Structure 1
Amino acid sequence: MAPTPTAKGTVPFRGHETWYRVTGQPGQGRPALVVLHGGPGSTHDYLIGLADFAERGWPVVHYDQLGNGGSTHLPDADPGFWVPELFLDELDNLLNRLGIADDYILFGQSWGGMLAARHASDRPAGLRGLVIANAPASYRLWLSEMDVLRAQLPPGVDETLRRHEAAGTTDSEEYLQAMLVFYGRHVCRIDPWPRELMASYMETWTDPTVYRTMNGPNEFHVIGSLRDWSVIDCLPRIDVPTLVLSGRHDEATPVTVRPFEELIPGARWEILENSSHSPHLEEPERFYEVLGAFLDSVGANGARTTTVSGG
């Protein structure tokens, strides 16, 4: 079997560059699967395994959102520069520059899932399907549930975390060690973490500009500009087949995920029982089975569902 072709490069965006990787050949009959990573401020690396779908005939597009990875870094940008609309515009630009805006499926993980949902709510003509993985529908729900999960940590861990948060010493070694207890339960339960996840983590650690501005110092202490952001109001407007994924031990708890199932017409929600926030790494066989079946169903259905315009 001939190797699957891979192309890498950058596209211009507002005077900067967005890095991308395309595995497979778009325009050969199946929509491109466009992968939106989390963070904000992470990189594509931890989701690189989705490139395997190119061997099944789905061209797969990975990219690094502006500010991290292979895309332009802007450590001195004004905090007000980093807003969701920036990344929505970047996604639109990428789709158009790669020539796939008329036939694509979005896979968004964590923050990328919220971004994908917001994009889908505008009903772009070329969108064929949507996968929202391990994402909360709002950061207010997320923060509320973080308190629930933190209260379940081993004795003393949350007290240590809160002491450093109150003192502004979240860069201390003691805080980091306590933080890793939470991550080991609710971000990825594999020990040690897989190489691809560590690659993204180290990229964010090396340049935390976007993550710290929009999110905060970590997953459960969200004090950045996204702390009140939500996509709940726009969910009923989504009109493409939608798969929602989460892990039983996910930091994106059922309370944070449920609005996707309840408000997106026809959405199907699958919980992977042996996973937390990284089921594509923690439970890959089941993950690829579920996602593969969804992609096949979208391909079989062809064109998007017809809806009444203006709704």
Structure 2
Amino acid sequence: MSTDTLIRTGEAPFPLTGINKPCNTWYTVCGDLKSGKTPLIVLHGGPGIAHNYLLPLFDLYASHAIPVVLYDQIGTGLSTHFPEKMGDGEFWVEQLFLDQLNGLIEHLKIREFDILGHSWGGMLGARFATSRPFGLRRLVLADAPASAQLWCAAEDTLRATLPQDVQDALTKGDTEGTTESPEYKAAYSVYFERFVCTIVPLPDDIVKAFEAISEDPTVLFTMWSNLDFGSNGTLQGWSVIDDLHKITAPTLVVHGRWDVAQDSVVEPFFKYIPRVRWYTFGESSHFPHYEERERYMQIVGGFLADD
């Protein structure tokens, strides 16, 4: 089934107190939101990586007739940017993104919906679900950490498995501030190709999503980090673990075997969410929706279509 003729785009107003310029959420929808099938709203990662890399999830409409909504979070991609807010930890807070999500749901007049959050989007989706929002039917936490500390610890563990010369080049770049050197970039590519995306060359839509950070790193640098490893932003102490028991929506946790979101990173979701399933994609890293695309749609689509 071709989805090309079933895709539309739009903008939802997202007015912000104290901001004297128009603010909008850009979104794209595949399928008919009035079809009677519960739509899936997808939260992208980063924070600050645009929606493009999640476009394969439109496959869920072809395989399971699930309408899919993608959007760019504020400060990212085709939504309104605020580069003047670089470093403003009082502006770039989790609640800003929760408010944006609620605004989009209201704009699209969706009464019942599912949520899939990838990476940072999964952090946001988990927090959203702890409030037991009206209309949330099912939740998918994809390649996401239950806490920032667990994520950073997994990065360190995986980094220590790399060849010693690669580790040394990464350490030198970190300590000497030479992360733009060819040696550091080559070493980081080794890490990236093992634990972030195993597909070489990178699919164009992943490249475009990461280009969004190069064009405007405001959100990423303020909230997560201006470094490749660790977190020195406002999310560095983030955790949802203590509130996971509040999630009542049936939940699916997915990740890749070689993912930075290792077992230790996602295990609290499985331990504390009351109604939860857990699936590991054995041949994937952080992008199983590309690396095992057909299987991914079977697992996720099957969960969402299960009444």
2:280 is the alignment partner of 1:271 = yes
Does 2:215 match 1:206?
A: yes
- The 2-side partners of 1:150 and 1:296 are apart by 38
Q: 1:76 aligns with which of 84, 104, 108?
A: 84
Equivalent-residue separation in structure 1 for 2:48 and 2:186 (angstroms):
22
Normalising to structure 2: TM-score of the pair?
0.93
The one-letter amino acid paired with 2:53 is: Y
Q: Amino acid of the residue matched to residue 9 of structure 1?
A: G
**Could you report, residue by residue, the CA deviation over 1:66-87 in whole angstroms, capped at 9, with x for unpaired residues?**
1111011111115212121111
Question: Is 1:7 aligned to residue 8 of structure 2?
Answer: yes
Determine which of 160, 164, 176 is the counterpart of 1:155.
164
Once residues 223 and 179 of structure 1 are traced to their aligned partners in structure 2, the CA distance between those partners, rounded to angstroms, is 19
Aligned-residue offset at 1:166: 2.2
Change (3 A) 1:67 1:2: closer
SS of match in other structure, 1:67: coil
The 2-side partners of 1:266 and 1:143 are apart by 27
Corresponding residue of 2:137: 128
Residue 40 (structure 1) shift: 0.3
Q: Tell me what 1:24 maps to.
A: 31
Matched residues in 2 for 1:280 and 1:218: separation?
26
Equivalent-residue separation in structure 2 for 1:18 and 1:112 (angstroms):
16
Match of 2:294 in 1: 285
CA–CA distance in 1 between the matches of 2:214 and 2:176?
A: 21
1:38-71 per-residue CA deviation (whole Å, 9 max, x = no partner) reads: 0000011000011122233211100000111101
**Correspondence for 2:100 among 85, 90, 99:** 90
Matched to 1:236, the amino acid is: H
Other-structure match for 1:36 = 43
Separation of aligned partners in 1, 2:263 and 2:10: 38
Secondary structure at the counterpart of residue 38 of structure 1: coil
Q: 1:146: Cα distance to partner?
A: 1.3
Inter-partner Cα distance in structure 2 for 1:7 and 1:119: 26
Q: Structure 1 residues 191 and 218, CA, compared in 2 at 3 Å: closer, same or farther?
A: farther
Indicate the larger mover: 111-120 or 149-158: 149-158
Instruction: Report the 3-state secondary structure (helix = DSSP H, G, I; strand = E; otherwise coil) of the residue aligned with 1:257.
Output: helix
Gap change, CA 1:2 and 1:223, over 3 Å in 2: closer
What stretches of structure 2 of length at least 5 have no aligned partner? 17-21
Residue 199 to residue 230, structure 1, CA distance change in 2 (3 Å) = same
Secondary structure in 2 aligned to 1:76? Answer: helix
Contact persistence 2:59–2:297 (CA under 8 A)? no
Alignment map for 1:58-207 (pairs within 5 Å): 58-78=66-86, 79-80=88-89, 81-100=91-110, 102-207=111-216
The one-character-per-residue Cα deviations of 1:124-151 (angstroms, maximum 9, x if unpaired) are: 1200000000001000111111111111
Structure 1 unaligned blocks of 5 or more: 301-311
Q: What stretches of structure 1 move > 4 A for 4+ residues in a row?
A: 1-4
Aligned residues: 297
Q: 1:196 to 1:40 in 2, by over 3 A?
A: same
Further displaced range: 73-82 or 189-198: 73-82
Write out per-residue CA displacement over residues 79-120 of structure 1, whole angstroms, 9 at most, x where no aligned residue: 2121211111111111111111x2100000000001001001
- Structure 1 residues 196 and 250: CA distance shift in structure 2, 3 A: same
Q: TM-score scaled by structure 1?
A: 0.91
Return the offset for 1:177. Answer: 2.2
CA contact (8 A) 1:170 1:217 kept: no
